[in-house]
Amino acid sequence: MGTNWTERRVVVTGLGVVSPVGNDVESFWRNLIAGACGVDRITAFDPAAFDSQIAAEVRGFDPAPAFPSPKEIRRTDRFSQFGVHAAWQALKDSSLDLEKADRDRIGVFVGSGIGGLSTTCEQHSILLNRGPGRMSPFMIPMLISNMASGLISMYYGLRGPNFATCSACATANHAIGEAWRTIKMGAADVILAGGAEATIVPIGIGGFCAMRALSTRNQEPKRASRPFDADRDGFVMGEGAGVVVLEELESAKARGARIYCELAGYGNTADAYHLTAPSEGGEGAARCMRMALQTAGLRPEDVSYVNAHGTSTPQGDIAETQAVKAVFGEHARRLMVSSTKGATGHMLGAAGAAELVACVKAIETGIVPPTINLEKPDPACDLDYVPNQAREAVVEVALNNSFGFGGHNATTLVRRFVG
């Protein structure tokens, strides 16, 4: 391991997604570029009493293929089921032979912004109505935010570095960035990284409604999540998971792996400003993007595409637009910037991983996913947001932005792999 850590290169060799527009990478990508929308009226519970009655739910999901037994599924919260399934997909996609691999050198960094909220709700109800003696002994293992990461390592015997990030909506992007850093430093050769979230439960929707953060366009669910549009009125709750297999280049080459692209840069900053609002002019986000470029050794004009955090909130979309302009200057006008949250809603702690998959696929396929529902551009949001229709374009370098409550900022940078 005598190599200078900066000389170790990290590539993406596997992808996995569970999302409101598809429960595998193929359907997720096909629906994204077709402009499909996963938002509809909530079916998980009766939302009639709530200001926001819509969400982007994961539908038709079967956790069974990714789990060792039905008993294991029953002892697992929905967010962990999503995370385990996305990891199972990503491992299969990577063709990594675990029987031949050194599992001490394979890690898992899969985070969650909120963790097992449905378990918390169910068990709290049991406590109030039936008493503490009827609570599940699995309550704590089911609800803690690190359990998706823990289960993935247990099911596959992965004994390398393992932890779960928790930074609200920046969670998955932080997990991927910290995994990149860990591989660069030589502490692991392969890491499964990403995030998982499942908060479409009464207390989750109710809490975000109380903040007035959610769209109340209940009569038009398909048009409710509208990043950068003048008529946006808040985000739409989403759920799901994304996991990518990150691998040190020589490891990937030695086993003849298919390399999607190179993960070349990472930024991680704080706004140090407000509980929920972005810093003035998107200053923290701008520093984050600059850091990602700097660690990759690239110039702003090298970037082809930015997958924006773009949540469809009044303040956030403007701040991110200002940040992009501050970082890219004149090149901001030539950049393609799109938010896939019009389609998926806001997957919170899973968003950054699903959106990195979109960046990887954009590089691979030469198609940039659109920002759907952008019908009436906000004068303060005046960049090329690839409105409503996917676009064929060569993508050499893509930036992926995630910004979370608490002022957490994360940007990852992927580029076309050149051997």
**Distance of alpha carbon 372 from alpha carbon 313, whole angstroms:** 15
Q: Which amino acid is at 351?
A: A
Q: Quote the pLDDT of residue 159.
A: 98
User: With contact defined as beta carbons under 8 Å apart, do 81 and 73 qualify?
Assistant: yes
| CB-CB contact of 42 with 202 (8 Å) | no
SS3 per residue for 297-344 = CCCHHHCCEEECCCCCCHHHHHHHHHHHHHHHHHHHHCCEEECCHHHH
Is the alpha carbon torsion for 16, 22, 25, 29 positive or negative? negative
List active site positions: 169, 309, 346
Per-residue pLDDT of the chain (419 residues; tens, 9 = 90+): 334 556 899 999 999 999 999 999 999 999 999 999 999 999 999 999 999 999 999 999 999 999 999 999 999 999 999 999 999 999 999 999 999 999 999 999 999 999 999 999 999 999 999 999 999 999 999 999 999 999 999 999 999 999 999 999 999 999 999 999 999 999 999 999 999 999 999 999 999 999 999 999 999 999 999 999 999 999 999 999 999 999 999 999 999 999 999 999 999 999 888 888 888 889 999 999 999 999 999 999 999 999 999 999 999 999 999 999 999 999 999 999 999 999 999 999 999 999 999 999 999 999 999 999 999 999 999 999 999 999 999 999 999 999 999 999 999 999 999 98
* Domains, the chain, ordered by start: 9-254 (3.40.47.10), 266-415 (3.40.47.10)
**Residue 366 CB neighbours (<10 A):** 12
Amino acid at 291: M
